[in-house]
Structure 1
Amino acid sequence: MVAESFLPHMNGVTNSVLHVLAHVREQGHEAMVIAPAGAEPGPESVEGFPVVHLPALPLNGYPTVRVAAGSVLRVRRLLAGFAPDVVHVASPFVLGWRAIQAAEQLGLPTVSVYQTEVPAYAARYGAPWLEPLLWNHVRTLHEASTVNLVPSTHSMDQLRGLGVRRTHMWRRGVDTRRFHPSRRATPGGAAFRARMAPNGERIIGYVGRLAAEKQVEDLAVLDALPGVRLAVVGSGPLREGLRGALPNAHFAGFLGGEDLAEAVAGFDLFVHPGEAETFCQTIQEAMASGVPVVAVGRGGPVDLVDSSRTGWLYKPGDLAELRARVEDLVYDDGKRLAFGAAAYATVRTRTWPAVCAELVGHYERAIQVKSRQLDVVARGVLAR
């Protein structure tokens, strides 16, 4: 498993890799992780599998995100030494592209998982002219992969629109034991609500990175709603700037494990304004916690939120509609509770064991495809 980011940096890519590692261990498979080294030392093993950390440099303006240095040759040597049946490439871009090339040189099948819409970040980080070049890179690396997996219909349309072949759907699971409506009533959940809403305010929650691509500043239209408290969970380079943009909000910082589950279940409503989400795992976690969602109607949220049943989708850029959709639920207890119950019912069967078993099927597909490709090449050589 070659991950573009990994522990100690926690994000959607890391989260999915950790769940896959747990599944393959339980099923008796062997694995190795190749990932960029973090600013702080990362684990030498996870689930009993070795983790190889390659030297990495911090991304300019976002030091917790690391870009691996090194060459295709270095990655090829690591792969050759482990001799895998398949190479899983999580959110490939820099290190992942090297892994795809190295695997091709070794005749190994690759399963590349499209998880991050990197080209869309270009304008947000002041370089809109880079976007076409970045999409060309996305096309190149995925077309070079044996099998490509996408988490949503939007991302499927993106890759197929680029002409990428061998593309299949693979959605994310959710930890329904951790994220559950019952967390709201635990001592931790009750304590979170008491801190956030000491006067019985309704809590509107956001969970995610505090970075440009998440558009958290759009939540300013909700910051002064009467009888409402905005809770922002997460960390990132824009934290201090967002404090100024959202003066009434509570910034909880990064939360994980039980603390995160209790916080999410403690929300009355979950909001997500980011337009560059290929999936949006935090939406699933909110729904599993029985919390309805208001999200932008682009990308992964379109598949997750059944508008008018489990939450609302609003038009990208229409912040007046965002506010109206939030007001529709936050001030109507009966509707909000009904939406939350429907949200929970929608995702409660989307467990990680189920989606990881599906992933192993994609591994098998990639092995078969690569075998056929190598047979074609061999026949061509013999014909000459």
Structure 2
Amino acid sequence: MRIQFVAESFLPLMNGVTNSILRVADHYAATGHDLSIIAPKQRGAQKFWKASNGRKIRIRHVSSIPLAGYTSVRIATTNVAQLKRRILDFDPDVIHLASPAVLGRTAGIAAHKLDIPTVAVYQTDVPGYTAKYGMALLEHTAWQVLRDLHNRADLTLAPSTATLKQLDDHGFQRLNLWRRGVDFSNFSPDLANPKLRAKLTGDDPDQRIVIYIGRLAPEKQVEDLKIIHDMPNVKLIVVGDGPEKSTLRKLMPNAYFPGFKSGKELGELLATADLFIHPGELETFCQTIQEAMASGLPAIAPRAGGPVDLITPGHTGWLYTPGDLNQLRDYAYDLLFDDTKRAYFGHAAQDSVRKRSWPVLAEQLMSYYHQAIEHRSYRGSDSATKGHSITSEF
């Protein structure tokens, strides 16, 4: 199959959107499919990405401008005619719109005009972000734009049941569930490093390590971890980068901020820690929870969005009431200072994600591509225009 990815963001910027594309594209490159990637142009971007089997995948960049206040994010400024030409150059069987917004909307219109099947993957709660960035008045407009964009696609894939319901409530059509995979070579309890632990804790056996991984941005609510930072005998590790980094360092001066990490270096940090916490309430999935679980860590998150599917309270971690930071602290204490319970939760967490490899999830995505192609062939029939087909085996 010839698959055209259209990414709202891509390398060298690493985030959930980029990671998902890289993982499924690597599998498709290894299994004989032809691939192309369209993404906003940015400093340091390469013309090709090399898959693990050595195949070079062409990246076709389009003009872009920096997002005000978050310059590492680029907003595409290309138009429909330009995208039509780029798409026709590759002549895909299906177009994968990764977290579509500005570029994804333009690509969706181009694909519609070219009568090419599209699968739109919803990954970012853009309407929810509007309030976090002081633009709450734009929330309604954001939902309208995203609904029109996604309903133009042949299928929309959401990463969690909470997100599926949210999209359904806002009038999105042709919804299906597609979760995310885990790279078990990079995330495993076997990567725990005693020397690193001794360094992080000052070789104090009474110290416990709590880790967060993600962007250091308002929507992640990393400042809520201050209550964990202030707990006795707790070392907080805050992994990631973003516009809030300097503010957070001042707020939590005893936390360790190693910056952005990936691959085995990230896996080593996770496996060496005791507990993972993600305080963001706008997560459509929360991939880092899965990676922490694969590393043998219990996880704590708000009872909102994607984490509700990932964490089984009292078994693999805890879900606290959004905004109740005292409950967050109590749950953290419950696991940090009960070694037996923490070990039980950690083993259960690892077991819960064992079947979620990227090749398995990539093959599920391939089945959705075929559904989109079939829908495009039979578009206009009542049975093909609306509905849910929610799979939960992963």
TM-score, normalised to structure 1, is 0.95
Correspondence 1:336-351 to 2 at 5 A? 336-351=342-357
Instruction: Give the residue type in structure 2 aligned to 1:225.
Output: M
Match in the other structure for 2:28: 24
Whether 1:330 aligns to 2:333 is no
Whether 1:162 aligns to 2:162 is no
Instruction: Give the residue type in structure 2 aligned to 1:99.
Output: A
Cα separation, 1, equivalents of 2:333 and 2:130: 32
Shift of residue 15 of structure 1?
0.3
Correspondence 1:205-244 to 2 at 5 A? 205-244=211-250
**Deviations 1:321-352, CA, capped at 9 Å, x for gaps:** 11111011011111001000000011011100
Cα separation, 1, equivalents of 2:30 and 2:380: 31
Instruction: Give the residue type in structure 2 aligned to 1:331.
Output: F
**Deviations 1:68-87, CA, capped at 9 Å, x for gaps:** 11101111111111110000
Match in the other structure for 1:379: none
Match in the other structure for 2:385: none
**Deviations 1:127-152, CA, capped at 9 Å, x for gaps:** 11111111111111111111110100
Instruction: Give the residue type in structure 2 aligned to 1:339.
Output: F
Cα separation, 2, equivalents of 1:250 and 1:243: 9
- Whether the 8 Å contact between 1:233 and 1:251 is mirrored in structure 2 is yes
Whether 1:3 aligns to 2:3 is no
Cα RMSD between the aligned structures? Answer: 1.2
Correspondence 1:1-384 to 2 at 5 A? 1-47=5-51, 48-184=56-192, 189-198=193-202, 199-200=204-205, 201-373=207-379
**Secondary structure of 2:38 counterpart:** strand
Cα separation, 2, equivalents of 1:31 and 1:273: 36
Cα separation, 1, equivalents of 2:90 and 2:373: 16
**Secondary structure of 1:112 counterpart:** strand
Cα separation, 1, equivalents of 2:41 and 2:282: 26
Cα separation, 1, equivalents of 2:370 and 2:155: 10
**Deviations 1:147-181, CA, capped at 9 Å, x for gaps:** 11010001101111111111100110001121011
- Whether the 8 Å contact between 1:294 and 1:314 is mirrored in structure 2 is yes
- Whether the 8 Å contact between 1:152 and 1:300 is mirrored in structure 2 is yes
Shift of residue 43 of structure 1?
4.5
Shift of residue 375 of structure 1?
9.2
- Whether the 8 Å contact between 1:7 and 1:43 is mirrored in structure 2 is no
- Which 4+ residue blocks in structure 1 deviate beyond 6 angstroms? none
TM-score, normalised to structure 2, is 0.93
**Secondary structure of 1:136 counterpart:** helix
Shift of residue 39 of structure 1?
2.8
- Whether the 8 Å contact between 1:39 and 1:64 is mirrored in structure 2 is no
- Whether the 8 Å contact between 1:107 and 1:374 is mirrored in structure 2 is no
Cα separation, 1, equivalents of 2:189 and 2:89: 46
**Secondary structure of 1:373 counterpart:** coil
- Whether the 8 Å contact between 1:312 and 1:325 is mirrored in structure 2 is yes
**Secondary structure of 1:31 counterpart:** strand
Give the length in aligned residue pairs. Answer: 372
Cα separation, 2, equivalents of 1:64 and 1:237: 10
Cα separation, 2, equivalents of 1:192 and 1:138: 44
- Whether the 8 Å contact between 1:90 and 1:113 is mirrored in structure 2 is yes
- Whether the 8 Å contact between 2:47 and 2:60 is mirrored in structure 1 is no
